[in-house]
Structure 1
Amino acid sequence: MTDQSTLHDTKAAYDAIAGLYAEMFSDILDQLPLERALLRAFADIVGEAGPVADLGCGPGHLTAHLNELGLDVFGVDLSPEMIALARQAHPGLRFDEGSMTALDVEDAALVGILAFYSVIHTPPQRLSEVFDEFARVLKPGGHVLLGFFAGDEAWPREFDHKVTLAYRWLPDALAAVAGQSGFAEVARLRREPIEGERFQQAQLLLRKP
């Protein structure tokens, strides 16, 4: 499968379920105290030093949360239906249609990137291109916070995600791929699934030197 066909399939899949997705996940943080704490820490670390991008923002609920935490944040998503819902729900914030592999952002323009469960749809052999793009748009000292489904195998394992094809990553393996683009690990979280989840969940906080 080519990169363009992967992007097309992911875009079409999220367009098709955008409304339902927004209904199901708009208040998801209420159930996730550990993720809320890590988002708070991320906001404290990047501070008010510059703009932050929420990549794969969906209907914008995490973009809005980061804004409430005091960040200058905007959202980007591949799905135009998701972007339309985000703009409707959060008219005071900026949301752009776009791809993580080719961001309409100048070099070294951002202090932070949130990519919560958005790199999971990228084929493993192409993920280094995503991290290269993250490195391009981040200032030195900028941070990335990743959220993903945790796996236990050295090579990421695909699974039947409810929307479209996705991959589970061993945190060490994902950190290693990011390291090839120059990122250093700052912290990680791995927790057991709660009710309604099938897999362990993980987050990585990375820093561009």
Structure 2
Amino acid sequence: MTEPSYLAAVRESYDTVAAAYVERVPPPDALDPLSRAMLAGFAELVRTAGTGPVADVGCGPGRVTAHLDGLGVSAFGVDLSPKMTGLARQAYPHLRFTTGSMTALETRDGELGGILAWYSTHHTPPQWLPAVFAEFHRTLAPGGYLLWGDYVGDERLQPTRGYGRPVTYDSYLLPLGRMAYLLDEAGLAVTARLEQEPGGRVSRPHACLLARKPEQS
């Protein structure tokens, strides 16, 4: 599969901002209570199902991967940016982090008990989301869970700076209903949703979707 062209801008931008990202983005323990509850519920569901490890796709410096590990989940991280995965390995040497794309995960069919896509899909152009979600469906075990969290809206953002550094990526904010529809089209059944208005450190509406790959009949 040929790599989508937008990934180069995302990779280069996050390589540029990696150190600043660690300094500026708060750790999972500082998230709002509802977001923490969604992560905890996801971890409990994956542990109970016992169908495989969790891939934290777009893991950045590995903080949320480590948070899942602390919740008793076997988790590993995947990120497009080599600088980010390098920082993650330094901070959490007991965990596995690989450099790769969510458009083509180096994971066998049905290998994963869970996928966490935590504020990591908004740089994906909408026309590529079906391919990303199809990849999630391929790699999840029957009965496996996906927790998606991100900003929602109806606009394309083209910032020139992020985390105090120059960037060239775009961000695509879609309505929550559209995201739920795309997951359903990929064969992932949405079982819970949470939508929150801006507040605290978050200046845009944000949301979570919990979805599950159906059991084999």
Question: How many residues align structurally?
Answer: 204
Distance 2:5 2:127 in 1: 15
Which residue does the alignment assign to 1:150? 152
**Mapped contact 2:28–2:36 kept (Cα < 8 A):** no
Query: Following TM superposition, by how much is the alpha carbon of 1:178 offset from its aligned partner in structure 2, in angstroms?
Result: 1.1
Aligned with 2:149: secondary structure? strand
Q: Report whether the alignment pairs 1:17 with 2:22.
A: no
| Structure 1 runs (4+) greater than 4 angstroms displaced | none
Distance 1:27 1:144 in 2: 21
Distance 1:196 1:52 in 2: 27
Which residue does the alignment assign to 1:113? 115
Q: Report whether the alignment pairs 1:187 with 2:209.
A: no
What is the one-letter code of the residue matched to 1:105?
T
**Mapped contact 1:102–1:133 kept (Cα < 8 A):** yes
Q: How does 1:49-128 map to 2 (within 5 A)?
A: 49=50, 50-128=52-130
Structure 1: give runs of 5+ residues left out of the alignment. none
**Mapped contact 2:28–2:67 kept (Cα < 8 A):** no
Aligned Cα root-mean-square deviation (Å): 1.5
| Residues 133 and 92 (structure 1), Cα distance of their counterparts in 2 relative to 1, 3 Å cut | same
Aligned with 2:37: secondary structure? helix
Identity %: 48
TM-score between the two structures when normalised by the length of structure 1: 0.93
**Mapped contact 2:57–2:116 kept (Cα < 8 A):** yes
**Mapped contact 2:190–2:210 kept (Cα < 8 A):** yes
Query: Following TM superposition, by how much is the alpha carbon of 1:26 offset from its aligned partner in structure 2, in angstroms?
Result: 4.6
Distance 1:20 1:91 in 2: 21
TM-score between the two structures when normalised by the length of structure 2: 0.90
